Structure 1
């Protein structure tokens, strides 16, 4: 008797009540939400009927007030965004200046090197073109000096 494990088995004749319980719960919840949404719709229609004359008579003023409020909100949100952007840029610059190598500093280093390289190439080209122009100007002046001048009468 000590060798047999004790296991409890439910009787096989019991009905499986879980799907029924799920259905009843879902139906109750669905009916409750349906009633609440109906009440919200009814309240919306009643308030719209009551407020329509007020909205029609005060419409022009309310539209202008709404536009002003939207513009004020946009200005405040933009200013806040600019402040956040400025603070994050200043924090990045501070980290970069103190040598902490923030994200993107390696890309900045490579971009700086590429710009310096390109500036050197452009400087060399400008010097080359300057020398070419100087040589061309000297040739033009030499050819003008070597040509005989027409005499005026």
Structure 2
């Protein structure tokens, strides 16, 4: 009978420990959240007059920084794209069969056949117009 009583109290004790741990963690996080909010409000209160005073300098500086960052990112992206394309072209020309080369070959054949068809059609029309 005592063994049965011990089995029933362990899960209840385990649940109470879980609840206490959750309450402690939740309370700690709630206090930390409140402290961060208070710090943010204080920092904003102190920084707002400085932003107003220095805004004629800060706004153009932020715009220039954003343009510079955008330029560097775009330049890097285009550079990577160019190196990738040049690498693909080199592998294609040297016969290493890069990805999608067969699609390019079939598209080239389709384009060449359409060009021949247009040339033949133009020759027929100009021949019919001349006679």
Same fold (TM over 0.5): yes
Q: Is residue 74 from structure 1 mapped to residue 70 from structure 2 by the alignment?
A: yes
Higher mean C-alpha displacement, 60-69 vs 70-79: 60-69
Higher RCO (CA < 8 A, seq sep 6+): 2
Structure 1 residues not aligned, in runs of 5+? 1-10, 136-153
The answer to whether structure 1 residue 47 and structure 2 residue 39 are counterparts is: no
* Corresponding residue for residue 58 of structure 1: 54
Q: How many equivalent pairs are there?
A: 125
CA distance in 2 between counterparts of 1:68 and 1:31 reads 44
1:28-53 Cα shifts (integer Å, max 9, x gaps): 11111111111111111101111111
Residues 80-125 of structure 1: CA distance to partner in whole angstroms, max 9, x if unpaired?
Answer: 0001111111221122223222211111111111101111111111
For residues 112 and 65 of structure 1, the distance between their equivalents in structure 2, rounded to whole angstroms, comes to 50
Deviates more, 1:21-30 or 1:75-84: 21-30
The more displaced of 15-24 and 85-94 is: 15-24
Distance 2:61 2:45 in 1: 22
Using structure 1 for the length normalisation, give the TM-score: 0.76
Counterpart in the other structure of 1:111: 107
Query: Greater helix percent: which structure?
Result: 2
Q: Counterpart in 1 of 2:121?
A: 125
Superposed CA RMSD in Å reads 1.4
Task: Tell me, yes or no, if structure 1 residue 84 matches structure 2 residue 92.
Answer: no
The TM-score normalised by the length of structure 2 is 0.87
Which runs of structure 1 show a deviation greater than 3 angstroms over 4 or more consecutive aligned residues?
A: none
